[in-house]
Amino acid sequence: MAKSITISDYLINKLYEAGVRHVFGIPGDFVLNFFKKLEESKLKLVNVCDEQGAGYAADAYARVNGLGVVCVTYCVGGLKVANTTAQAYAEESPVVVISGAPGIREREKNPLLHHKVKDFDTQKKIFEQLTVASTVIDDPQTAFEEIDRVLHAVMQHKRPGYIEIPRDMVLEKGISRHRSHVTQVQVDRDALQEAIEESTAMINAAKKPVVIAGVEIQRFGLHDLLLKFIEKTKIPAASTLLGKSVISERHPSFIGVYEGAIGRQDVLQRVESADCLILLGALLTDIDLGLFTARLNQKITIYAASEKVSIRYHQYDGVDLKSFMQALVNADIHLHTNEKPYHAQVTGTFVPKRNTKITVKRLFEKLNTVITDDTVVIADVGDALFGAADLCIHSKTEFLSPAYYASLGFSVPASIGVQMANPALRPLVIVGDGAFQMTGMELTTVVRYKLNPIIVLLNNNGYGTERPILDGSFNDIHSWNYSRIPEISGSGYGFVVETEEEFDDAITKACRQKDSFNIIEVKLDNYDFSPALIRMTSCMAKQVRK
């Protein structure tokens, strides 16, 4: 029987065992004693400006590290991360939200304690809507089991969980009992065998099969299986936008990001002319399906994801993504050699044209030349994302973006989470002015922790994605002098550029200046959009005007 320890120590140890090394958050009186425990622990606390920033940073950390933690106070902290937790849920990012709360003994007679909304369980009820598992640690007898239950669910589903610790429970000793066995999902071997036999037959009968790899490859750590499958069979592979970079985009079997009619034509043609579609770990979101312009014929589709495995029009229960992919790798699938290898088309050179205003298109052409093996591209929502779809990412998991939930303001705080998770990576943040104004001042946190992202700020004076859908003064933004933020933060390098030469020069300097962040404000025409954005928004406009 394990020696009895405090509930907070138990939770901290469990997080450490699961690979967590950093906790993002802001203290408050109901969580102060837990912060003190964190400070004294092996975990490193990362203080940010606003809880929203902590939520985004923890989400990015989770995507790179495999598990992230945000720690906040009751309601005034917790409800500020409702949105970032929703994003982690929608995009399958395993984030644990730890919230302080009034002590159980303080709650008697239901007093109006500060930070309370309706009832003491208001915040818990809200997080039930945003997580796969949630608990209030209100009893030392069950505390350890409850912590195990939530952490297990987070790891299993790669979605957020919620642990609320009333402050009088932090130093209580939990009771170590024979633990209830955490339910392990049992694979139905017969179903798996049938699914694999059927898949093998379909793939072997096909002349032009194609793989579409999605974000769950990254979330569930299945890169190696995917690579084995592709290299063994030589079947070409596309990725979704949310799944961008689940395989190195310089791999000879990689054909590009498939986004229906919104993406590149050559990718569309190859995918939509396939006679067998193998979708692995792909969420079928509207953005990944090019706002439903994707033409994926279900009659020829093998679909395997964490929550569903189906072939053509029938489903297999009891088959999980990992088992399916393992079995697929070992199946007797023919070599498909009737196709020439694809080549990353893009790492070319960029020669700036003299006295020429920079455009979105040319900006991304330049960015493609500066990406190295240690670059992680973090794209915020908008043209920062759509334009970035065709950047050539070298390795796995080095492209991060909220490409489904699409919440603005992710990228700058995400760069903090990424560099904490892997200091060897240097973030290249691509962000629009609208998104930047929401969370960009977390650059002061970047300075506090001596990180060094490069921020490319696409300033088109407004919510550019919305202008082609429906324009009005509400899409205008009051411009900041973004390049002067280093004067506020006390460190960093600022640039303002308008021409190709200026941008070329600034990004070159930024790559060299590694002792702090660099922010490059790129002044764009208000109506300069990437071709992808134009295709995207013309679909969106039809919805709005319906």
| List 246, 376, 389, 485, residue binding a second copy (CB under 8 A) | 485
Who's near 164: CB < 8 A, 6+ residues apart?
74, 98, 99, 100, 101, 123, 124, 127, 134, 135, 136, 137
What does the alpha-carbon distance between residue 154 and residue 93 come to, in Å, rounded to a whole number? 9
What does the alpha-carbon distance between residue 323 and residue 179 come to, in Å, rounded to a whole number? 27
Closer of 45 and 155 to a second copy (Cβ): 45
For position 413 contacting a second copy by CB under 8 A, the verdict is no
| Positions in 204-223 near a second copy (CB under 8 A) | none
Rounded alpha-carbon distances, angstroms, from residue 109 to 103, 120, 124, 443: 13, 11, 19, 44
- Output the CA angle 336-341-343, nearest 5 degrees: 150
For position 534 contacting a second copy by CB under 8 A, the verdict is no
| Positions in 12-31 near a second copy (CB under 8 A) | 27-29
| Positions in 341-370 near a second copy (CB under 8 A) | none
Pick the stretch among 189-197, 233-241, 248-256, 476-484 that binds a second copy (CB under 8 A): 476-484
| Positions in 155-174 near a second copy (CB under 8 A) | 167-168
- Kind of pairing between the strands at 22-25 and 161-166: unpaired
Task: Give me the least distance between CB of 465 and a second copy, in Å please.
Answer: 8
| Positions in 46-75 near a second copy (CB under 8 A) | 47, 49-52, 75
Pick the stretch among 41-49, 145-153, 343-351, 525-533 that binds a second copy (CB under 8 A): 41-49
Q: Kindly write down the DSSP assignment for every residue of 418-448, as one continuous string.
A: HHHH-TT-EEEEEEEHHHHHHHGGGHHHHHH
| Positions in 418-437 near a second copy (CB under 8 A) | 437
| List 54, 64, 408, 425, residue binding a second copy (CB under 8 A) | 408
Q: Which helix (H) or strand (E) holds 508?
A: helix 500-512
Task: Report CA 281 to chain centroid distance, whole Å.
Answer: 14
Task: Give me the least distance between CB of 39 and a second copy, in Å please.
Answer: 5
Task: Give me the least distance between CB of 391 and a second copy, in Å please.
Answer: 21
- 416 touches 358 (CB < 8 A): no
| List 191, 284, 331, 346, residue binding a second copy (CB under 8 A) | 284
What track of x and - describes contact with a second copy for positions 499 through 528 (by CB under 8 A)? ------------------------------
Task: Give me the least distance between CB of 439 and a second copy, in Å please.
Answer: 7
Classify 505 in phi/psi space as left (phi over 0), alpha (psi -120 to 50) or beta: alpha
Pick the stretch among 60-68, 205-213, 359-367, 459-467 that binds a second copy (CB under 8 A): 459-467
Task: Give me the least distance between CB of 528 and a second copy, in Å please.
Answer: 20
| List 438, 454, 456, 458, residue binding a second copy (CB under 8 A) | 438
Pick the stretch among 264-272, 365-373, 481-489, 504-512 that binds a second copy (CB under 8 A): 481-489
Closer of 116 and 173 to a second copy (Cβ): 116
Tokens 């960029």 map to which residue? 350
Task: Give me the least distance between CB of 139 and a second copy, in Å please.
Answer: 17
For position 477 contacting a second copy by CB under 8 A, the verdict is yes
Pick the stretch among 13-21, 326-334, 467-475, 496-504 that binds a second copy (CB under 8 A): 467-475
Closer of 266 and 307 to a second copy (Cβ): 307
End-to-end CA distance of the chain: 65
Backbone angles phi, psi at 416, to 5 degrees: -70, -45
Task: Give me the least distance between CB of 240 and a second copy, in Å please.
Answer: 11
What does the alpha-carbon distance between residue 91 and residue 181 come to, in Å, rounded to a whole number? 28
Largest CA distance in the chain: 75
Cβ–Cβ contacts within 10 Å for residue 478, how many? Answer: 8
| List 269, 361, 474, 515, residue binding a second copy (CB under 8 A) | 474
Q: Give the 3-state secondary structure of residue 308.
A: strand
Closer of 326 and 419 to a second copy (Cβ): 419
Task: Give me the least distance between CB of 85 and a second copy, in Å please.
Answer: 8
Who's near 34: CB < 8 A, 6+ residues apart?
8, 71, 98, 100, 165, 167, 170
Who's near 104: CB < 8 A, 6+ residues apart?
138, 166, 168, 169
- Amino acid at the residue 435: A
| Positions in 85-144 near a second copy (CB under 8 A) | 86-87, 89-90, 103, 105-106, 111-118, 122, 125-126, 129-130
Pick the stretch among 37-45, 244-252, 388-396, 500-508 that binds a second copy (CB under 8 A): 37-45
Task: Report CA 235 to chain centroid distance, whole Å.
Answer: 27
**Tokens in use for 146?**
């409850």
Alpha helices in 484-530 (DSSP H): 485-489, 500-512
What track of x and - describes contact with a second copy for positions 241 through 280 (by CB under 8 A)? ----------------------------------------
**Tokens in use for 479?**
């411009």
For position 439 contacting a second copy by CB under 8 A, the verdict is yes
- Amino acid at the residue 145: E
| Positions in 287-346 near a second copy (CB under 8 A) | 287, 292
**Tokens in use for 448?**
């506090």
